[in-house]
């Protein structure tokens, strides 16, 4: 179990590293060179040469990669050249990352219970109206563009705040300890600020929750239906356990593994959703940062963000593996036997 988890961790790390190297090299092979792309066609040769020298782009690419990785290991990701004040990329990422995590976790807190409920109801009322409505809702959920949904919610709830993390009139200065506004405001005992932060979170979190909720509902439904046909469920029913009891205590835990491994895979969906949701709601997080860095061609910022997201990807994948094994003793034993 332990060994196979480590093997998978290494595999994921190698994949992410390969992705990062490809991005790193591709940026340096930008047609005309990254400096020209950043400064625009009208830049003079001297300006281009200076930027190339400043960023180290005049050195061989393998050397650049080596230097970058050595510095990255020390927490230095260079400067965001095109941002006002040229801040350090690592500082920017550290500042924005909690915003995205807060948004994503809130979205999951909405998506998981709702998706599970919807999927369970659908399975319990298979081929009847509740099932059909649940299927229709989840089809709509995966088809509606997330940015359109965000705008629709803003139209439907005009009184809810539609941009930023907190009222612009207030400052988090002094109480901004973890970067998670809900936690910081509570720790400082500022109830009105907590309310403001929570209200700002509602619409973006609902928007981001839609796609995962729809997918969780689908998988819950189909894995429940599969489990409900199995022998141990029939035994439980024969023993006299009622329908609800079977569904909640016997079938749902049995269906947990596909749902959890799905949640791990949903990370990519969540991230894509975060880019769009953060753009619609001007939410100051990593998704919006990546989008801005990409469209402004701020390459240092872009590659730093890619590196960070890659590391998050590895961590979430590993956590998913461990959770799956936790929920399904068969996986633990099978992998133990294979070692």
Partner 1 sequence: MKSRFGPAVLWRTLPIALALSFLVGVGGLAIFASSLPLRDPYTQRSEDRLQPPSPTYWLGTDDLGRDVMSRVIYGGRYSLSVGLVAVGLAFAIGVPLGIVGGYAGGWTDRILMSIVEIVMAVPGILLALVMISILGPSLGNVMIAVGISQIPAYARQARGGTLTIANQEFVLAARVAGTSSIRILIRHILPNVLAPVLVVATLGLGSAILEAAALSFLGLSGDPNRPEWGSMLNMTRERFQDQPWLVLVPGFAITASVLSFNVLGDALRDWLDPKSRRS
Question: Which tokens belong to 27?
Answer: 């940026």
Specify the residue, 197 or 227, whose C-beta has the smaller distance to partner 1.
Answer: 227
By the rule CB under 8 A, 26 interacts with partner 1: yes
Specify the residue, 132 or 333, whose C-beta has the smaller distance to partner 1.
Answer: 132
Using the rule CB under 8 A, which residue among 76, 176, 226, 335 binds partner 1?
Answer: 226
Ordered DSSP codes for 16-73: HHHHHHHHHHHHHT-TT-HHHHHH-TT--HHHHHHHHHHHTTTS-HHHHHHHHHHHHH
First-last CA distance in the chain: 8
Using CB under 8 A, count the residues that bind partner 1. 51
The residue behind tokens 């819950």 is 220
Q: Residue 305's closest CA among 59, 4, 20, 17?
A: 20
Question: Which tokens belong to 89?
Answer: 């990329």
By the rule CB under 8 A, 293 interacts with partner 1: yes
The residue behind tokens 């029939």 is 234
d(CA 269, CA 288): 15
d(CA 211, CA 268): 11
- What is the closest distance, in whole angstroms, from the C-beta atom of residue 178 to partner 1 in the complex? 26
135 in Cβ contact with 267 (< 8 Å): no
By the rule CB under 8 A, 152 interacts with partner 1: yes
Determine phi and psi for 88, rounding to 5 degrees. Answer: -70, 135
1 in Cβ contact with 332 (< 8 Å): yes
Using the rule CB under 8 A, which residue among 165, 200, 250, 297 binds partner 1?
Answer: 297
**Of residues 85-144, those binding partner 1 (CB under 8 A):** 127, 132, 139-140, 142-144
**Of residues 252-291, those binding partner 1 (CB under 8 A):** 268-269, 271-272, 275-276, 279-280, 290-291
Specify the residue, 139 or 178, whose C-beta has the smaller distance to partner 1.
Answer: 139
By the rule CB under 8 A, 19 interacts with partner 1: yes
- What is the closest distance, in whole angstroms, from the C-beta atom of residue 132 to partner 1 in the complex? 6
By the rule CB under 8 A, 222 interacts with partner 1: yes
- What is the closest distance, in whole angstroms, from the C-beta atom of residue 261 to partner 1 in the complex? 15
Q: Which positions lie near partner 1, rule CB under 8 A? A: 12, 15-16, 18-19, 22-23, 26-27, 29-31, 37, 127, 132, 139-140, 142-148, 151-152, 154-155, 158, 222, 225-226, 268-269, 271-272, 275-276, 279-280, 290-291, 293-295, 297, 299, 302, 306, 309, 313
């Amino acid at each position: 179990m332990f060994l196979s988890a480590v093997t998978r961790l290494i595999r994921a790390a190698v994949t992410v590293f390969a992705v990062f190297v490809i991005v790193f090299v591709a940026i340096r092979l930008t047609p005309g060179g990254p400096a020209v792309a950043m400064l625009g066609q009208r830049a003079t040769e001297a300006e281009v040469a200076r930027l190339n020298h400043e960023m180290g782009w005049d050195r061989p690419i393998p050397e650049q990669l080596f230097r970058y990785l050595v510095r990255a290991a020390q927490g230095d990701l260079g400067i965001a050249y095109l941002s006002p004040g040229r801040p350090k990329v690592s500082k920017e990422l550290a500042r924005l990352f909690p915003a995205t995590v807060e948004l994503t976790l809130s979205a999951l807190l909405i998506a998981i219970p709702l998706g599970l409920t919807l999927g369970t109801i659908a399975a319990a009322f298979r081929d009847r109206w509740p099932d059909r409505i649940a299927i229709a809702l989840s089809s709509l959920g995966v088809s509606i563009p997330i940015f359109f949904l965000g705008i629709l919610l803003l139209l439907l709830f005009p009184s809810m705040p539609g941009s930023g993390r907190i009222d612009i009139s207030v400052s988090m200065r002094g109480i901004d300890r973890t970067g998670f506004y809900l936690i910081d405001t509570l720790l400082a005992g500022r109830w009105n600020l907590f309310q403001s932060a929570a209200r700002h979170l509602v619409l973006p979190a609902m928007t981001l929750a839609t796609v995962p909720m729809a997918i969780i509902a689908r998988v819950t439904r189909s894995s429940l239906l599969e489990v409900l046909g199995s022998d141990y469920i029939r035994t439980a029913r024969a023993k006299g356990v009622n329908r609800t009891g079977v569904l909640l205590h016997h079938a749902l835990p049995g269906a947990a593994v596909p749902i959890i491994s799905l949640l791990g895979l949903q990370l990519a969906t969540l991230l894509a959703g975060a880019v769009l949701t953060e753009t619609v709601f001007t939410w100051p997080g990593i998704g919006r940062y990546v989008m801005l860095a990409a469209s402004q061609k701020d390459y240092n910022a872009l590659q730093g963000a890619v590196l960070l997201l890659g590391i998050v990807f590895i961590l979430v994948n590993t956590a998913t593996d461990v959770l799956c094994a936790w929920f399904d003793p068969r996986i633990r034993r099978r992998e133990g036997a294979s070692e």
